[in-house]
Amino acid sequence: MGLRTAVLENGLTLALEERDYPGVAFQLLVPGAGAVQDGPLQGAATLLEAWLWKGAGELDARAFAQALDRLGVRRQSGVGLEYAAFSAAFLPEALEEVFRLYADLLLRPWLPEEAFEAVRSVALQELASLEDQPARKLFSLLRRRVFLSPHGQEPLGREEDLRRATPEAVRRERFRYTPQGAVLAVAGGVDWERLARAVEPFLAWRGEALPYPEPRLSQPQTLVLSRPTAQVQIGLAYPDVGPEDEDFYAARLALEVLSGGMASRLFTEVREKRGLVYAVSAFPAGVKGQGLLMAYAGTTKERYRTTLEVLKGEIARLREGVSEEELDRAKVALRTALVMGDESVRSRAGSMARDLYVLGRVRPLAEVEEAIAGTGLEAVNAFLARHPYENPWVGLLGEVENGS
């Protein structure tokens, strides 16, 4: 197994982790095409990504999809806050043809006007589906309150912007698909020389680098959305450290103690001992340059005040430190997740791409494992003493009163 990276002449970063494995996976991240780069037309990035698939090169939408299907390509794509992402897994013999098709997708999309209304309709339906997902709706709106910068935007956009978007306006957004800052990470059974030849169609991809907005946070506050629902949804958000911070592994292990399984503090205290909720969790939700920890609980309207106080109390209690037993359990859980993730070339290609985007380098698996093992109790508790998780942004959705 070998790891190699290079920046191509057009600015695209290429990385390969070669394995003795009968498959290949890649993930392509295009930072300029993320939702944080949306201008006044929020949702333009989502519309453009979906529109790309409506024909490229010599093939219309149906023929393009059939070509990928014939090659056995398992694929996904979408737009998040920070980038547009394209991922695929396939057999090694399809490598050259797969990359030729994806180069066509980026360099020679048809963007046919007659397909635009269908793209808009799907985007509007996906946005409307948030109303049927109260927890997702709450976190989408809570992020808007947490960030003063565009990092709080909903990647699906705003309904009014999606409705007023025109084909011409969205077509002009193509300049955001630039190789400058883009990352193509590949893992699996292919060698570097063959990969370098296979990605040659991407060398015609050109574009200028786009600035990345600096994340900016608001002051903690409470967001209350009163509406009739079966449960009250509770969301919390705390500033945290990201992978680029020297305390990252201490923070990650502390999060595992808090919400890493059925023996974690939240599951034990909030659900098992008090029976306040069916679901409770905490998870990382940061962006490049700003870590963020978010927590969730869903409960009844009669119990939401108690649940909120217990949830905040358990998270704040981290400042008192964790025990040796809790830390040992967290290390085993993180190492297990690392090993299990390592079994999938698709997962590995994703983590490589994310590393290159955030850190500018790929962390070898051995480095991550060593960092987890080498982070001791003193380091974790010192971090928690310096970085107490207190005074969060609070979001409530359900039959609650303003001023809760």
Residue 57: CA atoms inside 13 Å, Cβ hemisphere, count? 17
Residue 317 is inside which H or E element, if any? none
Amino acid, res. 232: V
Cα separation of 211 and 81, whole Å? 14
First-residue to last-residue Cα distance in the chain? 55
Cα separation of 99 and 160, whole Å? 36
Where are the domains positioned within the chain?
2-202, 222-398
Cα separation of 263 and 269, whole Å? 10
Tokens 């057999």 belong to which residue?
91
Domain 222-398 in the same topology as domain 2-202? yes
From the list 174, 88, 47, the residue with the least C-alpha distance to 346 is: 88
pLDDT at 403: 54
b/e string for 160-174 if b means 16 or more Cβ within 10 A?
ebbeebebeebeebb
Amino acid, res. 76: Q
Q: What is the pLDDT along the chain (404 residues), one digit of tens a residue?
A: 689 999 999 999 999 999 999 999 999 999 989 988 888 899 999 999 999 999 999 999 999 999 999 999 999 999 999 999 999 999 999 999 999 999 999 999 999 999 999 999 999 999 999 999 999 999 999 999 999 999 999 999 999 999 999 999 999 999 999 999 999 999 999 999 999 999 999 999 999 999 999 999 999 999 999 988 889 999 999 999 999 999 999 999 999 999 998 999 999 999 989 999 989 999 999 999 999 999 999 999 999 999 999 999 999 999 999 999 999 999 999 999 888 877 799 999 999 999 999 999 999 989 999 999 999 999 999 999 999 999 999 999 999 976 55
Cα separation of 345 and 391, whole Å? 40
Residue 194: CA atoms inside 13 Å, Cβ hemisphere, count? 13
Cα separation of 84 and 177, whole Å? 9
pLDDT at 404: 55
pTM of the predicted structure, to 2 decimals: 0.93
pLDDT at 402: 65
Angle 40-46-47 from CA coordinates, rounded to 5°: 85
The listed CATH number (3.40.50.300, 3.40.225.10, 1.10.10.10, 3.30.830.10) that belongs to domain 222-398? 3.30.830.10
Contact between 224 and 142 under an 8 Å Cβ cutoff? The reply is no
pLDDT at 1: 61
pLDDT at 271: 92
pLDDT at 39: 84
Cα separation of 343 and 339, whole Å? 7
**The CATH fold of domain 2-202:** Cytochrome Bc1 Complex; Chain A, domain 1 (3.30.830)
Q: Is 289 left (phi over 0), alpha (psi -120 to 50) or beta?
A: left
